[in-house]
Amino acid sequence: MSTLNAGHLDVCDLPAIMRTNYELTRMMGALKVSKEILKPHLEIQGQRSLSGEINISGAKNSALVLMTASLLTREALVIRNVPKLTDVEGMSNILLAMGVRLDRKLDEIEIQADKIQHIELPYELVHGLRASFFCIGPLLGRLGRARIPLPGGCRIGARPVVEHIRGLKALGAIVNVEHGVVTASVPGSQRRLKGADVILDCPSVGATETILMASVLAEGVSTIENAAQEPEVQDLAKMLNSMGARITGAGGPKITIEGVDELHGCEYKVMPDRIEAGTFLIAAAITRSIIRVSPVIPEHLSAVLQKLRDCGCSLQIENEAINLIPGQITGVDITTQPFPGFPTDLQAPFMALLATANGTSVVTEKIYENRLQHVAELQRMGASIRVQGNTALIEGVPELSAAPIKGSDLRSAAAMVLASLAARGTSKLEGLNHLDRGYEEIEVKLNKLGACIRRN
């Protein structure tokens, strides 16, 4: 075997076993690199101005809960304007696994729950989709029992369901939580839940919707005080009433539900997605472009529109459309609140805008305990942000620079798309599994406005 000359190691000088090892390591390394390259990602060219009109899809956070409301009747439900999202696919699979009939044609879903075979939702289908927990109310209200895995926390927070359970117990249900599964049932003697007055500790959207759906078939009258006032709650109440429910006060702090014996089917159109609309308005502002967003219900976005004006944009509001004309963007302070306050789901996208504003901004996240993860990614692009607890202090910079970045949850991924649209150079964004949960063909919609985004 030849001697190894000092300083230069030639692989063929290595003993055979080490040679194989070396080759293996090289191959593994190459494999790892190619896996990295193969990870689905968006390539986003920055600093292109946009123009034109962007079409807003149906609201994810309405469509998901409306789909579960189909469990309240034996009759068919036709839900229109349902967005093409992975979360909607996930919810469809859960309903199908329960034995529900479900047909999707374009943006329309027909659902009929006349033969529910399983009231226990399989963990592998529900663990990634918090909205799966919305099934507990209708199953309990209609069948008198349900077994739903606890929806785990997620990156943005613990996301407990204490309020949901408190409300179900107030309606007379027996609810146990063990081994990560919530088992709920109507006590043997009773056939139906009993109307009750519930005062929520916090205006939880999910708890309000769960209690609404559990109480529509209860015996007697129920009230929910400190109810969530989000438009998605109003959309649900509107559809339940068109199914024969008797709900008043939805959208306000106190909702009254008069229980009925049964609900019938209906046809219903999902409202436009206010969070998607807000995201694209911010896209216009951050690229200093004039764009039109439609359909949108302006009063669903009042707090966001006010902040867009405060930071220098002007807005032309029409019946179901909004035109944004950007000005010199200056810093503003934002604190997220329950509706009608500034929505937590637009905190990350708006922070991307403030990172490029002229001046200082303070953003405080009051809804979730861990929803500032996009800060680190924005800093990689040159943003000047300091975090103290749940508050971020942002010093706007003249320009962000493109970088390889990741979205760690749905809305932080959206924020990184916006930051990339404004940055100098071409960014590579990973985390499309998060992005595709809540934005239907986001790169297709933005490319129609003149963006240059490639999905690889």
Is 12 labeled as catalytic in the residue annotation?
no
Residue 368 in tokens: 């979730």
Which of these ranges, 20-28, 50-58, 216-224, 226-234, lies near ligand EPZ under the rule CB under 6 A? 226-234
Q: Which of 438, 440, 442, 451 binds ligand EPZ (CB under 6 A)?
A: 438
Among 202, 317, 393, 444, binds ligand EPZ (CB under 6 A): 202
Contacts of ligand EPZ in 332-351 (CB under 6 A): 344-345
The beta-strand segments (E) located in 295-402 are 314-317, 322-325, 334-335, 360-364, 384-388, 391-395
Q: How far apart are the first and last CA of the chain?
A: 48
Phi, psi of 289 (to 5 degrees): -115, 160
The tally of CA atoms less than 13 A away on the side-chain side of residue 376 is 8
- Given 12, 135, 154, 202, the catalytic residue: 154
Write phi, then psi, for 12 (nearest 5 degrees): -75, -10
Kindly identify the residues of this chain, within the stretch 368-407, that bind ligand EPZ according to CB under 6 A. Answer: 368
Q: What are the DSSP calls for 238-289, one per residue?
A: HHHHHTT-EEE-BTBSEEEEE--S----EEEEPPB-HHHHHHHHHHHHHTT-
Distances (CA, A) of 423 to 203, 330, 343, 355, 406: 38, 17, 25, 11, 15
Per-position x/- string for 280-319, each x denoting binding to ligand EPZ as judged by CB under 6 A, each - no binding: ----------------------------------------
Stretch of 101-109, 113-121, 228-236, 298-306 lying at the interface with ligand EPZ (CB under 6 A): 228-236
Q: Is 161 one of the binding residues for ligand EPZ (CB under 6 A)?
A: yes
Residue 41 touches ligand EPZ, criterion: CB under 6 A: no
Residue 64 engages ligand EPZ in binding (rule: CB under 6 A): yes
Nearer to ligand EPZ, 277 or 329 (CB): 277
Nearer to ligand EPZ, 344 or 408 (CB): 344
Q: Of 6-14, 76-84, 151-159, 444-452, which segment contacts ligand EPZ by CB under 6 A?
A: 151-159
* Minimal CB distance residue for ligand EPZ: 206
Order of strands across the sheet that contains 314-317? 51-55, 290-294, 322-325, 314-317
Rule CB under 6 A: choose which of 28, 30, 31, 162 binds ligand EPZ.
Answer: 162
**Does 194 help bind ligand EPZ (rule: CB under 6 A)?**
no
Among 98, 205, 213, 375, binds ligand EPZ (CB under 6 A): 205
- Strand, coil or helix: 41: strand
By CB under 6 A, name the one of 146, 163, 192, 416 that touches ligand EPZ. Answer: 163
| Cα 187 from Cα 280, distance rounded (Å) | 49
Encoded amino acid at 195, one letter: G
Helices (H) and strands (E) in the chain, counts: 15, 23
* Pick 167 or 195: Cβ nearer ligand EPZ: 167
Q: Hey, what's the torsion of the CAs at 403, 398, 317, 443, to 10 degrees?
A: -10
Distance CA(359)–CA(411), nearest Å, equals 24
4 is a site residue for ligand EPZ (CB under 6 A): no
Draw the binding track, 105-144, toward ligand EPZ (x: CB under 6 A; -: no contact): -------------------------xx-------------
Q: Shortest Cβ distance from residue 158 to ligand EPZ (Å)?
A: 6
Q: Helices 274-286 and 302-310 sit at what angle, rounded to 10 degrees?
A: 10
Q: What gap in Å lies between CA 239 and CA 245, rounded to an integer?
A: 9
- Closer CB to ligand EPZ, 345 or 403, in the complex: 345
- Report, in Å, the least distance between residue 270 CB and ligand EPZ: 13
Residue 210 C-beta: closest distance to ligand EPZ, Å: 9
Is the dihedral angle over the CA atoms 165, 258, 185, 142 positive or is it negative? negative
Site of interaction with ligand EPZ (CB under 6 A): 61, 64, 130-131, 157-164, 202, 204-207, 228, 230, 232, 344-345, 367-368, 410-411, 438
Residues with active-site annotation: 154
